[in-house]
């Protein structure tokens, strides 16, 4: 992906980020401020304290006047529609994401992750946005917990929204990726907290997970925005790691206590199931799931001239991934990110 393509996509545009004060949202906003010249950046979130903190953090930035803060919840369609007025690009990150919380309060997860997605789609269509990209999760592939199920539903809503746009130019796509190193929802802060006690809790010694950094996530979403024609589900090629090795990279001398799987927790995560292989292409640095039923989908789009269909028995899981993070590499990443090891 060339810098020119990213400039053409992001410069001069009004960009709305739902959940803009979350881990990804903050990093994405800073990336935009540091590297591009958008018309404006709108930060939409429900937590006034986090907005106040972000305002203070970015107040000295030369591009701070580009920022516009909206208090609001994606459950509130009217407020969301106001925030979307004349927005060119919408990056939808707002969600209830913690697996145990979604298991305990399923109705709340449905209201935010599914009905919130519907509101984003309606607001984008009503305000003639150009591009909408929604952040998903590996837990949406073959889901066994409510969080994954709500995100799978959300993914399908965004892909199918391309059939609702009529003569509007609005494009909807999805990105799906794994655990983010350094995000608030990551297990890494828990391990760092437990380190002082000398004991780290692991649910199962064989468990594996996909990992990427916040910077990688931001780059992936940005390049997907520049590539998308609407209807794609993009998946990055990222490494996996055994959770027990992650624990050892943070506290090599600590005792490991096996505590068993939590409700809704998988042993291994999937990013592409074997059932999705028939609609999956390898684009080199990422995979792409093409939509199964879109009237406007162009399989011969120039962006995908080099695509290769994956084998029919292909799957992409944290267990069969050939790219495995070593303890030394993870420790180096944590050091580079200034996270305590």
Residue of 13, 97, 139, 248 marked active site: 139
115 within 8 A of 75, measured Cβ to Cβ: yes
- Would you give the DSSP letter of residue 61? S
- Residues with Cβ < 8 Å from 320, sequence gap 6 or more? none
Cα distance between residue 185 and residue 170, in whole Å:
31
DSSP string over 93-157: ------HHHHHH-HHHHHIIIIIHHHHHHHHHHHTT-SEEEEE--GGGSS--SHHHHHHHHHHHH
What's the distance, CA 21 to chain centroid? 14
Is 139 tagged catalytic? yes
Instruction: Pick the closest to residue 266 from 206, 320, 338 (CA basis).
Output: 206
Map residue 237 onto helix, strand or coil: coil
Active site residues: 139
């Amino acid at each position: 992906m060339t810098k020119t393509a990213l400039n053409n996509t992001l410069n001069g545009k009004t960009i709305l980020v739902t959940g803009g004060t979350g881990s990804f949202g903050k990093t994405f906003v800073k990336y935009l401020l540091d590297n591009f010249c958008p018309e404006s950046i709108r930060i939409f979130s429900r937590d006034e304290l986090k907005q106040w903190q972000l305002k203070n953090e970015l107040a000295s930035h030369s591009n701070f006047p580009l920022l516009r803060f909206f208090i609001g919840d994606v459950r509130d369609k009217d407020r969301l529609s106001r925030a979307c007025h004349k927005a060119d690009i919408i990056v939808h990150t707002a969600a209830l994401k913690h697996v145990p919380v979604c298991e305990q309060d399923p109705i709340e997860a449905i209201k935010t992750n599914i009905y919130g997605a519907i509101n984003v789609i309606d607001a984008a269509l009503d305000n003639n946005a150009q591009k909408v990209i929604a952040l998903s999760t590996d837990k949406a592939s073959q889901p066994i917990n409510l969080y994954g199920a709500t995100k799978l539903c959300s993914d399908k809503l965004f892909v199918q929204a391309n059939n609702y746009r009529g003569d509007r130019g609005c494009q909807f796509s999805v990105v799906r990726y794994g655990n983010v190193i350094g995000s608030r929802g990551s297990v890494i802060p828990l391990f760092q907290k437990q380190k002082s006690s000398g004991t780290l809790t692991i649910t199962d010694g064989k468990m594996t997970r996909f990992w990427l950094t916040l910077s990688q996530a931001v780059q992936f979403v940005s390049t997907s925005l520049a590539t998308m024609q609407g209807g794609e589900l993009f998946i990055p090629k990222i490494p996996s790691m055994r959770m027990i090795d992650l624990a050892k990279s943070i506290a090599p001398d600590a005792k490991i206590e096996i505590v068993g799987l939590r409700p809704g927790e998988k042993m291994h995560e999937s990013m592409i199931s074997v059932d999705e292989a028939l609609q999956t292409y390898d684009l080199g640095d990422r995979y792409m799931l093409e939509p199964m039923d879109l009237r406007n989908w162009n399989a011969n789009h120039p962006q995908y001239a080099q695509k290769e269909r994956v084998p029919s028995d292909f799957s992409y899981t944290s267990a069969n991934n050939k790219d495995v993070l070593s303890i030394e590499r993870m420790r180096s990443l944590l050091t580079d990110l200034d996270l305590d090891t």
